Chains A and B, each alone.
Chain A
Amino acid sequence: MNKSEIFADGFWHNNTIFAQLLGMCPLLGVTTSAENGFWMGAATLLVLTGSNLVVSMVRGVIPKNVRIPSYITIIAAFVTIVGMAMNAWMHEMYLILGLFIPLIVVNCAILGRAEAFASKNSVSDALMDAIGVGLGFTFALVLLGGVRELFGQGEFFGFNVFGESYPDVLMFILPPGAFIALGFILAAINLINRSIASRAESRAQADALSKDIPATVEAQ
């Protein structure tokens, strides 16, 4: 796989949320607004980049039997560093995200990338994978947070969209709204993927047809 394929795979085709449905806990927990989703995604992206880089660097050095505890230690170290940095320089957001920052340690998506990709690929490929997967995760969180904020409070990134008279739809802010919004987003993503696939198929057929025609003409 080349670099852009690795990126596209992590960002879209194997998106943590939309394709694998992993990392549901932070997804549903913090996405009450687009901004919360963005910073949670950014924190996860940082941790994933760090852990993928280090795991790729030490591949072949760490004995197979202790690789999981080693990876978890590496991931936990990065999570704690990101948490402390946020506490110091983004204090308010740190208080909002609260427990979900330390919980990045157990985001199975991160250990999953370390085990399934970074431990088997070069450092530059692992970096590209981390950026693709991390941005894909951030995209998903911002999308879901944006939808919930828009319909729940009539705002997007804190800016009023629907005007002051918009009646807040409480359900979108509460956890059930997260599930419902996620369901509709997943349906939309599947529609997009299907239309891409069918368009590619019809193009392939058209190509095949245009090749066939001169052949048949010659045959006659």
Chain B
Amino acid sequence: MMKLDKDQIRMVIALFVVAAIAAILLATTDIITREPIAAAQKAALRQALQQVLPEHANDPQNDKITLANNNTVAVIYPAKDSAGHIAGLAWEVVAPDGYSGSIRILVGVRPDGSVFAIRVTRHQETPGLGDGIVKNHAWLASFVGQSLGSRIWKVKKDGGDFDQFTGATITPRAVVKAVKGALEFFKQQKTAIFARLASAKMNHQAGGAHE
């Protein structure tokens, strides 16, 4: 067996102590920041939901349901009016084919399957070109009220109804495709979604009765 000399033992001890202290510090920071991070994420989501859902009386994040469908799990946030009727639904879709990386889009739809509003929540597109999907309000507004049948869901360059930007076609193309996918998902899953929402409501009321 190889014998460790004094210097080697000192090295091992030094590295061990440094790593141990770093680990303790990181664990402490994690404990301190865990709740504020969750709160910040929740606040950011609440702000985004506010923009893609019609006026509502509930907290969409409290009433969320999760729906598993061919390997994808959709978390759906419902907006309910004061009478408890569903006024709109929102969920996040991912466009994997952006110009640089994937684009996350929060899509809000009305119960009839038309778009209420869309907002891009995360992207790494080129500033000044592709980031029109965040900054170009007229373009974002061109989605409002549209449903699967009312528009050809492609950019104009591809023979569709949605504008591309000067110098950027790939980014809006990816977003249009993703929003179309979201509407198709809603069309297929509408019954399932509303059944889940109804049962979630029943559970909620049953839970309320026990209290």
> Interface on A for B, CB 8 Å cutoff?
32, 58, 61-63, 65-66, 69-70, 73-74, 76-77, 80-81, 84-85, 87-89, 91-92, 95, 98, 152, 168, 170, 173-174
Contact = CB atoms under 8 A, between A and B. Distances in A.
Contact of B37 (A63, A66, A88, A174): A88
B14 A63 contact: yes
A80 B44 contact: no
A58 B15 CA distance: 12
Given A89-B36, A170-B129, A174-B126, A84 B29 contact: yes
B40 A91 contact: yes
A85 B29 contact: yes
Contacts of B43: 91
B26 A174 contact: no
A32 B127 contact: yes
Interface in B63-118: none
Contact of A77 (B11, B15, B26): B26
A74 B37 contact: no
A73 B23 CA distance: 10
A88 B43 CA distance: 11
Contacts of A69: 15
27 contacts: A32-B127, A62-B18, A63-B10, A65-B7, A66-B11, A70-B14, A70-B18, A73-B18, A73-B22, A74-B22, A76-B22, A81-B26, A81-B29, A84-B30, A87-B33, A87-B37, A87-B40, A88-B33, A89-B36, A91-B37, A91-B41, A91-B44, A92-B44, A95-B44, A168-B128, A173-B127, A174-B127
A73 B25 CA distance: 12
Contacts of A170: 128-129
B46 interface: no
Contacts of A65: 7, 11
B177 interface: no
Say whether chain A's binding surface is mostly helix, strand, loop, or mixed.
helix
A95 B37 CA distance: 12
A80 B29 contact: yes
Given A84-B33, A174-B127, A74 B18 contact: yes
A98 B36 CA distance: 18
B202 interface: no
Nearest to B19: A73
Contacts of A77: 22, 25-26
Contacts of A76: 22
A61 B40 CA distance: 41
B122 interface: yes
Contact of A84 (B10, B19, B37): B37
Nearest to B38: A88
A169 B15 CA distance: 51
A173 B125 CA distance: 12
